[in-house]
Amino acid sequence: MKGSGNISQPDGKARKHPKQRKSVSALTSKKLFQEADNRCPFCGVADVAALEIHHIDENPSNNIIENLIVVCGNCHSKITRGEISPADVHAKKMELFWTHKTSLRRAEKSSVQSVNVNAASVSDSIIANTVNIGRKRSPRMQYPADSIGADTIKKGYVDYLIKRYFDYRQTDASYGSLRPFSHAELHTTIQRKFKAKTFFIHVARFEELCDYIKGRVDQTIQGRRNRSRSVPNYDSFEEYETEQLQYGR
Ligand SMILES: [Zn+2]
């Protein structure tokens, strides 16, 4: 937890100086700029000189790529001031990470300008989407119609649950849990289970996906502690939706 001094790492070693800034390697930096398509993912500014690397967990020594995101100086300040919430930053990173990974794989498979991709097949209904790749500045990939990613509120709720899981796993580490943890694991497990990437899963399976992630949250140490005290681990979708509609999008 923040300010608790020693931070337990997944390998179980407590680091003495968790806040010590380490420079991001040139390779990691290059990957991050590619992932962001040399643009600020929040405001779209494409001036490379204005782009900076932000540490998502605010720990300047944690230089794993999952913890880093390219943002412009302006949006970086907004993150620092809390005007862009940690949940928004996290969701944006997940989106960049997975969108970029997917587009790379597609680019490898085909050099044609336009490919038809089966985004997810759900029982008999197959949803597909045309993605343009190989252009100088490829358009940001959109989630296929009928996918969870295409529904702003449902996608937001899934992001919210995933964020909750990551937060609880981080808390578990502070309780001394040595279970190895990576941000990608949850997504790869979901992909194996649902045969589609998280936000490409058909919207008909939204509840099933939510139940799965909720189950993961409930099984964390923090999740079990809360349940034993009857503290809810997350808002219901209805509560989340009401709040989103109330405050606008
Ligand atoms: Zn920006």
CB 103 within 8 A of CB 138: yes
pLDDT bin (cut points 50, 70, 90) of residue 96 is confident
Whether the per-residue pLDDT at 136 is higher than 80: the answer is: no
CA angle 38, 42, 43 (to 5 degrees): 80
Whether the per-residue pLDDT at 86 is higher than 70: the answer is: yes
Check residues 193 and 139 and name the one with the higher pLDDT.
193
3-state secondary structure of 121: strand
In order of 71, 78, 79, 114, the CA distances from 49 in angstroms are 11, 18, 19, 31
DSSP string covering 206-244:
HHHHHHHHHHHHHHSHHHHHHHHTT--SS--HHHHHHHH
CB 59 within 8 A of CB 18: yes
pLDDT of residue 232: 96
Compute the distance between CA of residue 37 and CA of residue 148 in angstroms, rounded to an integer: 23
pTM, two decimals, is 0.47
3-state secondary structure of 190: helix
| Residue showing tokens 């337990």 | 8
pLDDT bin (cut points 50, 70, 90) of residue 133 is very low
pLDDT of residue 102: 66
pLDDT bin (cut points 50, 70, 90) of residue 214 is very high
Q: Which of 21-25, 50-54, 136-140 has the highest mean pLDDT?
A: 50-54
**Mean pLDDT lowest among 22-26, 77-81, 120-124, 217-221:** 120-124
Could you tell me the distance, in angstroms and rounded to a whole number, from the CA of residue 229 to the centre of ligand 1? 41
Could you tell me the distance, in angstroms and rounded to a whole number, from the CA of residue 43 to the centre of ligand 1? 4
Could you tell me the distance, in angstroms and rounded to a whole number, from the CA of residue 48 to the centre of ligand 1? 11
Mean pLDDT of 137-147: 67
Mean pLDDT of 215-236: 95
Could you tell me the distance, in angstroms and rounded to a whole number, from the CA of residue 122 to the centre of ligand 1? 37
pLDDT of residue 110: 54
Could you tell me the distance, in angstroms and rounded to a whole number, from the CA of residue 76 to the centre of ligand 1? 7
Mean pLDDT of 70-85: 92
